[in-house]
Structure 1
Amino acid sequence: MLFKLGLISFLMLLNSIPSQSAVSSIDLGSEWIKVAVVNLKPGQSPISIAINEMSKRKSPALVAFHAIGEEAAGLVARYPNKVYSQVRDLIRKPFDYVKKFLDSYYLSFDVVEDSRGGVGIKIDDGVTVYSPEELTEMVLGYGMRLAEFHSKVMVKDAVVTVPPYFGQV
């Protein structure tokens, strides 16, 4: 009986402590990423769009090693083979499809076929190979960092929106 009373008291105390984490929403597009944050602090608008380091509401969905988003966008013209774009659309696609897709967009990534018949993207060091899932994770991580910077509290939960034609894979 004493244990139950203690447990109930603990749960009531835990419920009375306000949450210190925010919730984020990430709109993951092929070319752009947009981040919204549900703010918990009184006096702030309940939902706001996070701005990036260039004070823009949307960021390029680009990865260049040592640069993501707006920083990577500045490198595209000089180093087109070192800035990776459209990676969301390469997830779980066969190697032949990816090769044609990259050619149609004039993207000069160095791609290799991986063990499951998909694609691996060889970065500029010529040795390291990343999957499209790993590069997409880097873009999503950038979105989470934008959300945390904007909300000034830790973001524990996020909702990621994708196109309606995306399936389980």
Structure 2
Amino acid sequence: MGDLVVVTALRIERFALRRGLGDVPVIAVGLGVRHPSRLSLPPGACLVVAGVGGALVDGIAPGDLVVDDLSLAMSLRANGFPVHHGEVALSDHLVGPSERSELALHTGALAVDMESARVLALAGDRPHAVVRAIVDTPSRALLGPATLGGGVAALRRLAAIGPVLRHWAESQVKEVQQ
């Protein structure tokens, strides 16, 4: 399928995402994307940056999705997924509890990751979206006993969203072609 390319950081995210995406390329670029210029994207394909992330605000649970594209957020919600539409902030390090509220305040973002902004810099004018399945929240820190459960919930969610991502990409390509 040439309509969509999915980029993620970690191999475990890649494994989860590939389960529902069939022949869609899923590329793992590494934590923090140190060399985004090495990522080559086929012309015309939609780009989705997906994986796990941390919630910056209360009201988002482990396994919930934070999506920056409204049409994709609505499609996911219509298919029964718990979705929060909003921005995802970039950090060069794991964000601890004391930083979360300040980052949310300064960026307006709902979640944080270490890759999306760097990958999206390569998107150009192609349709693109960020999808983050939440592992940790302000009340459930990443380095705590709830991490395993949050991680499992997030990876299961990533494994389930493939058909919606494919449909979104197909609709975006049709819209661009019209």
Scaled by the length of structure 1, what TM-score is found? 0.28
Bigger helix fraction: 2
Computing the radius of gyration from Cα coordinates, the structure with the larger value is 1
Question: RCO (CA 8 Å, sep 6+): is it higher in 1 or 2?
Answer: 2
